[in-house]
Structure 1
Amino acid sequence: MSLGIGLPISDPAALLEWARRADAGPFNTLGLLDRLVYHNPEPLTALAVLAGATTRVRLQTEVLLAPLRETALLAKQAATLDLMSGGRFVLGLGVGGREDDHHVAGTPLRDRGRRFDQQLADLCRLWSGEPHSAEAGPIGPAPAREGGPEILIGAFKPKALARVARWGDGLLAAAPPSWAGGLFDTVRRDWQELGRKGEPRLVAQVNVALGPDSLVDEAKAAMHAYYEFTGMAEQMASGMLTAADDIRAAIRAYRDLGADEVMLYCWGGDPDQVDRLADLA
C-alpha cells in the first residue's frame, strides 16, 4: 500500500515546496481538490505546474468536479497533462454539490448526475481516438496511457459507486475506515458483476494535521470554512487526525480493508508537515 499527500489550498505559491519535498520522500501521489466559487487554485493548472517541478510522484485531482466543465476541453486538458507528465496524471472525478459552483458554471445542479454519466462515456471515447462527432474529428493529443489517464471516482451512494465499474479504474473514498470498508465491498462486487478484469484501485482519504497547536487550529479552521455549506463542518473538522499514533492506526485500518493507497489530506499550510508525515510513514 502506498501513501499520498493532499495539498492545502491556502497558499498556492507554496505548493511547489510541498511538491518538491513529497517527490523526495516516500509519497507516491500529490492530490488537489476542486471548487469554482472559492479561493483554491484551479487544479489542472496547478498540477501542471507541479508536474514540471517533480519527476516521480503522481498528480491527482481529488476530485475534479466534471459537470462544471465542457467535456471536449476537459478531455484535451487531461490528455495533455497525462502526456506531458509522462503518464503521472490521475483524474479523480466527482459531481459536486455546491449550488453556487453550478450557478457560475451555468450547469443545472439537478442534472449533474446525468451530465456526469454522459461525460464519462464521452471522455473514454475521445481518449480512444474516435472523432468527436460527425461534424468534427478526433481531439488530440493522445494521452500517455492508452485509453486515457487513470480515472478514480469519488462516490458514496450505490448509484454513484456503480460508475466506478462502468467507467473508472477505481474509487476515491473520503470516508473513515468504519465506512470505507462497505464502499470498497460495493465497488468490488460491481466490478465482478460487470466482468471487469483485474481489481479496482481503492484509494482512501483521511484529513490530517501534524504539528504544533497553532497548525492544528489553522487546519481545522480551513476545513470548517471549506465544508461550511454542508451543515456538518464542525463534525468533519473534529474528525481530523492530529496525533501520530492516530494517523498510523488509520493507515493500518485502511491497509487491512485492502486499500491500495491512503491520501493524507493536509489543511494547514506548513510544508514541514510533509517531513513529519514522511517520518511517521
Structure 2
Amino acid sequence: MSTPLDVGMTLPVMEPDLAPAMLRDWAERIDAGPYSSLCFGERIAFDNPDALTLLGAVAAWTGRVRIATTVVVPQLHDPVLLAKALATGDQLSGGRLSVGLGVGGREEDYAAVAADWSSRTMADLAERAGVLRRVWAAENLTGATRPVGPRPVRPGGPELLVGTLGHRIVRHAARWADGLAGMSLTADVDETAALFDVARAAWAENGRPAPRLTTSFWFALAETSPDPRGQIHRHLRHYMNWLPPALVDALAPTAGFAGSLDQLRALLDRFAAIGADEVQLIPTSDDPRQVDLVADLLGG
C-alpha cells in the first residue's frame, strides 16, 4: 500500500452468536498483522461482550497493537470505577490503551443501567473526562485512606478521543480531548475532511496541540462475500435494532464500503490524502479471512 496511513481493525463484537475462541483468533491475527489498532465499542442492551471485561482479555491476548475503545459512554458508569477499570486495562496492556469517549445515542442503554438520559450532554462528558484524568493523576476524590489506583502506564493516563460525527461537539471537545474518534456512516471522504478541518481549527483556537484524527466505517469485501452490500445490510439490521427497520433499509445501500481490495486501497489512499492519522475498519461479518486479506493489502 502506497500510503503511510495507520489502519486499525475492529473486533466483530456486534455480530450474533459470538464465541470466545473466535474473538481471541481475531485479536491474535490483528496483533500479528500490520494493524495499528485493535478496536471495539460498547453497548449495554445488546448481546455483545462487556467492553471493560473484554479489554482485560484483549490485553492478555495481544502484545503489540494499540487497543482502542471506540467508544465508551462514561454516563453509563460510575466515573471512579470507570477510571479504575481503564487504568487496569492500560496496565495489563503495557500502556497500549486509547480511550474513545462519547455520549451515546441509545436511550435503552441508559435505561438498562438506570442512567440519567438528561446527562447525555457535552458538558457532562467533559466533566467525566476530567474525573478520569484526576483519578489517573492520583488525586484523592473519594476521601478514602489513599487514592484510587492503579496508575496508568503513561503519565496523565491514556489518550482521550471524542467519539462524534458532529461539528458542534468537536468544537466543544477541543477543550479537553486529545483528538477525534470519528465515524463516517457512508465512508465519505469529503465529509470527513470537513470534520477534520473543524477539529484542527478548534484545537488551535483553544491553544491545544494538533488533534489526533481518526475515523472509521463499516466494510465488506467482494473477496470474502458473494454479496458484500447485502452483508452490510444484514449486519445493520442486526446492529441497529433500536431503529425502525425502514430507516435501516434506507441507510444500507450507501452505508460503509462494499467492494474489492483494490477499491479499498484507493479509498484508504483518499483518507490518507486528507490527513487522517488512522482509519479503523469495522467488519460486518466474523469471517477471519478479512483480517488476513486486509493485512496483506497493507503490507503489500
Query: Does 2:199 match 1:190?
Result: no
Query: Does 2:287 match 1:273?
Result: no
Q: For 2:136 and 2:204, locate their aligned partners in 1 and report how far apart those are by CA, in whole Å.
A: 25
Q: For 1:75 and 1:128, locate their aligned partners in 2 and report how far apart those are by CA, in whole Å.
A: 11
Q: For 1:256 and 1:230, locate their aligned partners in 2 and report how far apart those are by CA, in whole Å.
A: 34
Q: CA 1:123–1:163 in structure 2 vs 1: closer, same or farther (change >3 Å)?
A: farther
Q: For 1:135 and 1:163, locate their aligned partners in 2 and report how far apart those are by CA, in whole Å.
A: 33
Instruction: Say if 1:68 and 1:102, in contact at 8 Å, map to a contact too.
Output: yes
Q: Residue 202 of structure 1 aligns with which residue?
A: 213
**Aligned to 2:257, which of 234, 241, 244?**
241
Q: For 2:24 and 2:281, locate their aligned partners in 1 and report how far apart those are by CA, in whole Å.
A: 18
Tell me the CA shift for residue 153 of structure 1.
Answer: 1.0
Tell me the CA shift for residue 247 of structure 1.
Answer: 1.6
Further displaced range: 245-254 or 139-148: 245-254
Q: For 2:46 and 2:211, locate their aligned partners in 1 and report how far apart those are by CA, in whole Å.
A: 32
Query: Aligned Cα RMSD in Å?
Result: 1.8
**What is the number of residues matched between the two proteins?**
280
Query: Structure 1, residues 244-279: CA drift from partner, whole Å, max 9, x if none?
Result: 233222211211110001101112011111011112
Tell me the CA shift for residue 162 of structure 1.
Answer: 2.7
Q: For 2:37 and 2:144, locate their aligned partners in 1 and report how far apart those are by CA, in whole Å.
A: 39
Q: For 1:88 and 1:3, locate their aligned partners in 2 and report how far apart those are by CA, in whole Å.
A: 16
TM-score (norm 1): 0.93
Tell me the CA shift for residue 213 of structure 1.
Answer: 2.0
**Aligned to 2:242, which of 220, 229, 233?**
229
Instruction: Say if 2:126 and 2:173, in contact at 8 Å, map to a contact too.
Output: no
Instruction: Say if 1:224 and 1:236, in contact at 8 Å, map to a contact too.
Output: no
Which contiguous aligned blocks of 4+ residues in structure 1 show a shift greater than 6 angstroms?
none
Tell me the CA shift for residue 133 of structure 1.
Answer: 4.3
**Structure 1, unaligned runs of 5 or more:** none
Q: Residue 140 of structure 2 aligns with which residue?
A: 131
Q: For 1:219 and 1:192, locate their aligned partners in 2 and report how far apart those are by CA, in whole Å.
A: 37
Q: CA 1:278–1:108 in structure 2 vs 1: closer, same or farther (change >3 Å)?
A: same
Instruction: Say if 1:225 and 1:233, in contact at 8 Å, map to a contact too.
Output: no
**Aligned to 1:68, which of 73, 76, 98?**
76
Q: Residue 263 of structure 1 aligns with which residue?
A: 280
Q: Residue 166 of structure 2 aligns with which residue?
A: 157
Q: CA 1:162–1:128 in structure 2 vs 1: closer, same or farther (change >3 Å)?
A: farther
Q: Residue 120 of structure 1 aligns with which residue?
A: 129
Instruction: Say if 1:52 and 1:85, in contact at 8 Å, map to a contact too.
Output: yes
Calculate percent identity across the aligned residue pairs: 36
SS in structure 1 of the partner of residue 216 of structure 2: strand
SS in structure 2 of the partner of residue 27 of structure 1: coil
Tell me the CA shift for residue 105 of structure 1.
Answer: 1.4
Instruction: Say if 1:207 and 1:240, in contact at 8 Å, map to a contact too.
Output: yes
Q: For 2:79 and 2:99, locate their aligned partners in 1 and report how far apart those are by CA, in whole Å.
A: 13
Further displaced range: 208-217 or 257-266: 208-217
Tell me the CA shift for residue 69 of structure 1.
Answer: 0.9
**Aligned to 1:146, which of 143, 155, 174?**
155
Q: Residue 34 of structure 1 aligns with which residue?
A: 42
Q: For 2:228 and 2:193, locate their aligned partners in 1 and report how far apart those are by CA, in whole Å.
A: 30
Instruction: Say if 1:209 and 1:242, in contact at 8 Å, map to a contact too.
Output: yes
Mapping of 1:14-53 within 5 angstroms? Answer: 14-53=22-61
**Structure 2, unaligned runs of 5 or more:** none
Instruction: Say if 2:220 and 2:231, in contact at 8 Å, map to a contact too.
Output: no
Q: CA 1:249–1:184 in structure 2 vs 1: closer, same or farther (change >3 Å)?
A: same
TM-score (norm 2): 0.87
Instruction: Say if 2:220 and 2:228, in contact at 8 Å, map to a contact too.
Output: yes
Instruction: Say if 2:228 and 2:258, in contact at 8 Å, map to a contact too.
Output: no
Tell me the CA shift for residue 136 of structure 1.
Answer: 6.4
Tell me the CA shift for residue 240 of structure 1.
Answer: 2.8
Tell me the CA shift for residue 228 of structure 1.
Answer: 3.9
SS in structure 2 of the partner of residue 148 of structure 1: coil
Tell me the CA shift for residue 41 of structure 1.
Answer: 0.7
